């Protein structure tokens, strides 16, 4: 028997706990994440000779350092390194949900998207070009309905096949505007050589530093390479202030939003408004 560990991440009310229940049935236990009183639900499903262990992460809209739920989520992903992350998204509210997706992409985890509430998507007549969205996000997408229990086996099947490398997809990254991208890459290159940070994506650390993330600052500022990185950060700020009259943090947020808007325009058609009869 092979074990696969999968973390479930998603916005509050995306149907994450319903999906967790549908996936794990009665095989569940509850504990806490280390050092905090946030409940940690764990469970498993046996599928085709694999035991797939699921960890239900707290519901979050983002991955900043501003709330314990978001900190727990990103700490778990960076330090416990699950084999895969299933990002549960609310199909009818895709645009809002994609903010977390972009940040999971930034962490460079192995990602699978459960396009949940797909029953609602169909009922409302929303058209989502799944193939095209897969290419943009660089990960497989499986339509699910946690309450109608559809797509559950397809999701388990994808977990196994993605884990085994049977179905590959070209990972995609969200590229920022040039001035940011250059700084991200240069800083990431400096961090890549640090053995103590090896479970972290150095690209993600670099993005977080440019976003002024206090927690990542204190993680990184004890290494000798910090002296050089601090100068790079100052330089990045100088350049963006001059060119855009804004600091990198604001521009990174704008670029994420632009990526999401582009994905929505390319892949999602809202239903035509029904003609109201005037008779
Ligand atoms: P969580 O906050 O992400 O854990 O979300 P819940 O699992 O508590 O679900 C939020 C609400 O959405 C509940 O009322 C669920 O019954 C409902 N829900 C969850 N999944 C689906 C789904 O696939 N389709 C529909 N129609 N409703 C769903
Ligand atoms: K809930």
Express each pLDDT in 189-243 by its tens digit: 999 999 999 999 999 999 999 999 999 999 999 999 999 999 999 999 999 999 9
User: Would you say the CB of residue 143 lies under 6 angstroms from ligand 1?
Assistant: no
Check which CATH number belongs to the domain holding 255 and give it: 1.10.287.1770
202 and 139 belong to one structural domain: no
Ligand 1, atom 4, lies closest to the CA of 17
Measured in Å, residue 250 CA sits from the centre of ligand 1 at 33
| pTM above threshold 0.80 | yes
- Residue 50: which domain range? 2-163
User: Would you say the CB of residue 41 lies under 6 angstroms from ligand 1?
Assistant: no
Does residue 75 sit within a domain?
yes
Rounded to whole angstroms, how far apart are CA atoms 247 and 33?
34
Does residue 171 sit within a domain?
no
User: Would you say the CB of residue 58 lies under 6 angstroms from ligand 1?
Assistant: no
Rounded to whole angstroms, how far apart are CA atoms 257 and 27?
38
- Quick one: pLDDT at residue 99? 98
- Quick one: pLDDT at residue 275? 62
Does residue 279 sit within a domain?
no
Report the number of distinct structural domains present in the chain: 2
119 and 32 belong to one structural domain: yes
User: Would you say the CB of residue 13 lies under 6 angstroms from ligand 1?
Assistant: yes
Does residue 277 sit within a domain?
no
- Where does the pLDDT of residue 1 fall: very low under 50, low under 70, confident under 90, or very high at 90 and above? confident
Does residue 268 sit within a domain?
no
Does residue 278 sit within a domain?
no
Check which CATH number belongs to the domain holding 112 and give it: 3.40.50.300
159 and 193 belong to one structural domain: no
Which ligand is located closest to the Cα atom of residue 90?
1
- Where does the pLDDT of residue 36 fall: very low under 50, low under 70, confident under 90, or very high at 90 and above? confident
Ligand 1, atom 22, lies closest to the CA of 117
pLDDT in tens, 238-249: 999 999 999 999
Q: Kindly report the average pLDDT of the chain as a whole number.
A: 95
Q: Which residues pair with 141 in a beta bridge?
A: 113
Rounded to whole angstroms, how far apart are CA atoms 58 and 20?
12
Rounded to whole angstroms, how far apart are CA atoms 255 and 240?
13
- Where does the pLDDT of residue 37 fall: very low under 50, low under 70, confident under 90, or very high at 90 and above? confident
């Amino acid at each position: 028997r092979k074990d696969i560990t999968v973390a479930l991440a998603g916005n509050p009310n995306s149907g994450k706990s319903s999906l967790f229940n549908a996936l794990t049935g009665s095989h569940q236990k509850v504990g806490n994440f280390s050092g905090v009183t946030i409940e940690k639900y764990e469970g498993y499903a046996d599928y085709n000779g694999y035991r797939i262990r699921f960890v239900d992460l707290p519901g979050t809209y983002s991955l900043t350092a501003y709330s314990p739920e978001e900190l727990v989520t990103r700490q778990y992903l960076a330090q416990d390194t699950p084999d895969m992350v299933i990002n549960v998204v609310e199909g009818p509210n895709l645009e809002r949900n994609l903010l977390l997706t972009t940040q999971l992409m930034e962490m460079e985890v192995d990602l699978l998207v459960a396009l949940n509430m797909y029953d609602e998507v169909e009922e409302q007549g929303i058209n989502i070009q799944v193939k095209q969205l897969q290419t943009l996000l660089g990960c497989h997408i499986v339509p699910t309905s946690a309450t109608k229990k559809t797509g559950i086996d397809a999701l388990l099947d994808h977990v196994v096949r993605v884990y085994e490398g049977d179905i590959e997809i070209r990972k995609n990254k969200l590229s920022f505007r040039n001035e940011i991208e250059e700084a991200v890459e240069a800083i990431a290159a400096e961090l890549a050589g640090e053995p103590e940070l090896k479970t972290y994506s150095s690209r993600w650390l670099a993005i977080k530093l440019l976003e002024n993330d206090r927690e990542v600052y204190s993680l990184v500022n004890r290494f000798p390479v910090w002296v050089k990185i601090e100068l790079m950060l100052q330089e990045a700020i100088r350049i963006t202030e001059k060119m855009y009259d804004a600091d990198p943090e604001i521009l990174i947020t704008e670029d994420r939003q632009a990526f999401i808007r582009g994905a929505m325009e390319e892949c999602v058609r809202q239903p035509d408004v029904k003609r109201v009869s005037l008779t």
